[in-house]
Amino acid sequence: MAVVSPGFQGRPRSADTRIPPGQYLEKTFPVLSAGPTPRVRTETWQFEITTETGKKHSWSWADLVALPSEKPTVDIHCVTQWSKLDTTWRGVPLDALLADVETEADYVMVHSYGGYTTNLPLADLLDGQAWIAHEYNGAPLSPEHGGPARLLVPHLYFWKSAKWVNGLRLMVKDEPGFWENVGYHDYGDPWREQRYQGD
């Protein structure tokens, strides 16, 4: 005889259905940085996209904030097992920055002030899935969370969301970034628990 535990079907589809496997709900906003926080001034800030042929496209801070921005509210998932729901940002969608970039490349290396790097497929930066975020919770993004601007790719583990971002290098072949080089996954889908290479 089948035993159905009471309440199973009536379980609210709330927070728990938005927490990927192996994650717990975090209410604070932890800071996770592999090194010191670089102090990046908007006066000298630059964002540069380099294609596989070496062609460069660059934006100053004034260029960036002049572009139409969006206000995504998204859930974020760190590989150290915390997830945070309904975080609110303002940022420029990568679609806008990549619109005039001609490329045959399928992969991207994201570069940051301070030397951090992370790799992901180009497709994961397109179609409204990723932003150069410069506000969090209605205020300028703080330095410890990646200010003045960070990448925000909420559908992948949060190590892909490079803080203090300053450029993208388009790659025909995938290459590992900072954490990927020491065993973290090249893609990092939290719903498939792609924490480490081979997962």
Which spans of this chain sit near ligand MTE (rule: CB under 6 A)? 29-34, 78, 112, 114, 116, 145-146, 158-159, 161-164
Identity of the residue, 25 or 172, whose beta carbon is nearer to ligand MTE in the bound complex: 25
Quote the least distance from Cβ 143 to ligand MTE, whole Å. 10
| Position among 65, 74, 78, 126 found at the interface with Mo ion (CB under 5 A) | 78
Using CB under 5 A, which of the segments 27-35, 54-62, 97-105, 131-139 binds Mo ion? 27-35
Binding mask 150-169 vs Mo ion (x if CB under 5 A, - otherwise)?
A: ---------x----------
Close Cβ partners of 13 (under 8 Å, ≥ 6 residues apart):
none
d(CA 144, CA 141) in angstroms, rounded, equals 8
d(CA 147, CA 144) in angstroms, rounded, equals 7
d(CA 69, CA 96) in angstroms, rounded, equals 9
Q: At 94, is the secondary structure helix, strand, or coil?
A: helix
Quote the least distance from Cβ 185 to Mo ion, whole Å. 12
d(CA 128, CA 43) in angstroms, rounded, equals 28
Residues engaged in binding Mo ion (CB under 5 A): 32, 78-79, 159
